[in-house]
């Protein structure tokens, strides 16, 4: 869709894990087409989906106003843009320090993504750097130095095999239940956590 408008792509993480209303087939086809090429004109989008131009425009407007589409932006290859190293940084936070930890993380430009998680660690950060030294400095000289942080574990990404902008319910294949092979452990997060506010 031809537009230079840019809306913050980060969504309110309070909605994480909640079920959204199911879209119809046309809505999913629109999202799939825009995922492939976000610069499609309304005319091209309408032709691709099989609806009128006016229908395409109203549909996209509805998807934006309902919060399904959160913005339009360019898709950039981090390595070609100069950030050749990516890493996942797993952080354990002191229980009473969540509000200030959130504020600090939101202000860190190296952080591409942050999620509060269950399991051994409390949060996972996705960061980008120009080299391994940048990952080391961020892990030991930035995050580990925060008084809110108890432990830090960094894992350098060797190869990003799949990186999609988003997936849709129509992408998920139906699979018959398989016989249980092993155990899956679900570790709940200790205590209630407020979601990270949007940037």
Domain spans in the chain, listed from the N-terminal domain onward: 23-75, 85-157
Banded pLDDT at 132 (limits 50, 70, 90): very high
- Residue 195's pLDDT is what? 61
Instruction: Name the DSSP class of 141.
Output: I
Q: What is the pLDDT of residue 197?
A: 60
Per-residue pLDDT at 12 exceeds 50: no
- The residue assigned the tokens 């205590």 is 191
**pLDDT for residue 175:** 85
| Residue 176 confidence (pLDDT) | 81
CA 7 → CA 14, 50, 131, distances in Å? 18, 27, 30
Contacts with 169 (C-beta within 8 Å, 6 or more apart), sequence order: 22, 28
Q: What is the mean pLDDT of residues 96-123?
A: 95
The region of weakest confidence among 10-14, 140-144, 157-161, 182-186 is: 10-14
pTM above 0.75, yes or no: no
Are 23-75 and 85-157 equal in CATH topology?
no
Residue 68 has pLDDT above 60, yes or no: yes
Tokens of 33: 């087409």
Q: Which region holds residue 17: left if phi is over 0, alpha if psi is between -120 and 50, else beta?
A: left
**15 to 20, 67, 78, 197: CA distances (angstroms):** 9, 11, 27, 11
Write down the mean pLDDT value for the chain: 85
Whether residue 8 is predicted with pLDDT greater than 80 in this model: the reply is no
Arithmetic mean of pLDDT, 113-135: 96
Lowest average pLDDT, out of 14-23, 29-38, 77-86, 124-133, goes to 14-23
pLDDT of 177:
79
Q: In the CATH scheme, what is the code of domain 85-157?
A: 3.30.70.920
Question: Is the domain defined by 23-75 classed in CATH 3.30.365.10?
Answer: no
**Quick check: 195 and 17 in contact, CB under 8 A?**
no
Is-contact 40 34, C-beta < 8 A?
Answer: yes
Query: What residues have CB less than 8 Å from 187, skipping those under 6 apart?
Result: 118, 119, 120
Say yes or no to pLDDT of 19 above 80: no
């Amino acid at each position: 869709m031809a537009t230079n408008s840019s809306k913050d792509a980060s969504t309110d993480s309070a909605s994480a894990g909640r079920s959204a209303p199911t879209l119809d087939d046309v809505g999913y086809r629109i999202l799939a087409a825009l995922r492939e090429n976000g610069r499609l004109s309304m005319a091209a989008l309408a032709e691709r989906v099989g609806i009128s131009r006016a229908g395409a425009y109203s549909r996209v407007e509805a998807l934006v106003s309902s919060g399904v589409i959160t913005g339009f932006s360019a898709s950039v290859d981090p390595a070609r843009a100069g950030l050749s190293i990516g890493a996942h940084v797993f952080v354990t936070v002191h229980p009473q320090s969540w509000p200030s930890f959130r504020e600090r993380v939101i202000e860190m430009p190296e952080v591409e993504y942050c999620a509060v998680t269950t399991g051994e660690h409390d949060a996972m950060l996705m960061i980008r750097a120009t080299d391994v030294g940048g990952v080391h400095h961020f892990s030991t000289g930035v995050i580990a130095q925060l008084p809110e942080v108890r432990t830090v574990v960094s894992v350098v990404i060797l190869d990003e095999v799949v990186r999609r902008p988003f997936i849709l319910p129509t992408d998920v294949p139906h699979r018959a239940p398989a016989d249980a092979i092993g155990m899956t452990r679900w570790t709940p997060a200790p205590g209630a956590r407020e979601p990270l506010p949007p940037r």
